Amino acid sequence: MSEEEQAEDDFEGGLDADSGDEQEGSDKSADTKHSSHRTRNDKPHELPSQAAAVHQRLRLDGQKELARGSMALLLSAVAAGISMSFSMVARGIMHAKLPDSDVGFLVECLGYTIGFIAVILARQQLFTENTVTAVLPVMSQPTRKSLGSLGRLWSVVLFGNLAGAAISAVTFLYMPMFDDATHKAFITLGEHIMENSPYEMFAKAILAGWMVATLVWLIPAAGEAKVWIIIIITYVMAIGGFTHIVVGASEAVYLLLVGNINWHELLFQFGLPTLVGNVIGGTFIFALISHAQIRGDKDISIKDQT
């Protein structure tokens, strides 16, 4: 059995552990009967917790992403950047059509979730997802080669995401797709982001990075509730005004194109603070803590076996 197949079994077994307790009595005799036919190599590998099962599933996904070619990563990342601009489109249209009120704002924020739904369900390369998925295998085996692979993936995916966001902004501005009210709404959304100081961009981006990392962690166990998990977490991001490097890039580039901001503001007020905050929230806080938790579970499991 391959490592990936074993991880799938461990993942499903970990999630079904609670329901399995109900059948323990009826299955005990069957387990005893079949145990005599097992060899030592046939014994299933048991993970110490459900969190460990999720960690292993994400780690194997990360290994596959790190092994992908740069061109495949780039094309998927550009597609993700374009898909993420659906958040700007949906929210802009709602902003233009809804009344300027608290209720209108709450409904409008639902549009923010559209881009995340499209990217995650299509399994496209989103930079902030890779602050967790691709980092876990590097934390498990921190070598110069794995760090180099992570740097390659991050740089390619980030470039592709931002390129896709910029392509979308140019397309929305110069092609006759939207009415004047919607174009004004795009500008309003961008100006709302740029009201933040660089430090506010950074601080809000940390929380956004943490929330996306939490989303990535929850999805493997979400099952049919996956879409609702995406909607709930990203909806809170929209209401809170937390800054995301890819979603905000479409709106910031749109402002640049219409002349409302300059390159310095784009890069140093929005871009760099938001990027660093997202990475810190996703990698240096969530991924490190989650990885440390799993290491702790393994240590406890080893002690219990000795």
Q: How many residues does the chain have?
A: 306
Note whether residue 254 is domain-resident.
yes
In a domain, 22, yes or no: no
Regarding predicted confidence, which is higher, 199 or 23?
Answer: 199
In the block, which residue shows the tokens 């929850």?
218
From residue 243, give the alpha-carbon distance in Å to each of 7, 204, 272: 34, 6, 12
- pLDDT tier at 138, thresholds 50, 70, 90: confident
d(CA 239, CA 251): 16
Residue whose entry in the numeric block shows the structure tokens 């399994």: 123
Residue 11 belongs to a domain:
no
Mean pLDDT value across the chain: 84
Q: Are 278 and 216 in contact (CB under 8 A)?
A: no
In a domain, 5, yes or no: no
Residue type, 194: M
Does residue 191 sit in helix, strand or coil?
helix
Q: How far apart are CA 89 and CA 77, in angstroms?
A: 19
Cα separation of 240 and 208, whole Å? 9
H or E segment and range at residue 89: helix 70-97
**E-only strand ranges, 187-286:** none
State yes or no: pLDDT of 21 exceeds 50: no
Stretch 29-53: mean pLDDT, rounded?
48
CA end-to-end span of the chain, whole Å?
27
How many domains, in total, are found in the chain?
A: 1
- Segment holding 9, helix H or strand E: helix 3-15
Could you tell me the CATH number of the domain that includes residue 184? 1.20.1080.10
For the chain, the maximum distance between any two Cα atoms, rounded to a whole number of angstroms, is 76
- Residue span of the structural domain in which 95 resides: 51-297
> Residue type at 306?
T
Q: Closest Cα to residue 298, out of 107, 85, 103, 49?
A: 49
DSSP state of 271: I
pLDDT tops 90 at residue 116: yes
Asked whether residue 3 is assigned to any structural domain, the reply reads no
For 150-176, give the DSSP string: HHHHHHHHHHHHHHHHHHHHHHHHHSS
Amino acid letter, 217: W
Residues 137-162 have a mean pLDDT of: 92
CA 85 – CA 164 distance, rounded (Å) = 8
Distance from C-alpha of 155 to C-alpha of 202, rounded to nearest angstrom: 20
Residue 201 CB partners (closer than 8 Å, separation 6+) = 243, 269, 270, 273, 274, 277
The model's pLDDT over 85-110, given as tens digits with 9 standing for 90+, comes to 999 999 999 999 999 999 999 999 99
pLDDT at 287: 66
This prediction's pTM: 0.80
Among candidate residues 157, 152, 164, the one with its CA nearest the CA of residue 79: 164
Whether 36 is covered by a domain: the verdict is: no
Distance (Å, rounded) from C-alpha 185 to C-alpha 90?
Answer: 11
Least confident of 86-90, 157-161, 226-230, 284-288: 284-288
Asked whether residue 184 is assigned to any structural domain, the reply reads yes
Whole-number Å distance between alpha carbons of 256 and 219: 35
pLDDT of amino acid 89: 98
- Please name which of 131, 182, 181, 184 lies closest in space to residue 161, comparing C-alpha atoms: 131
**Per-residue pLDDT reduced to its tens digit, 240-282:** 999 999 999 999 999 999 999 999 999 999 999 999 999 999 8
* Mutual angle of helices 50-67 and 198-222, in 10-degree steps: 110
Q: Is 113 inside a domain boundary? A: yes
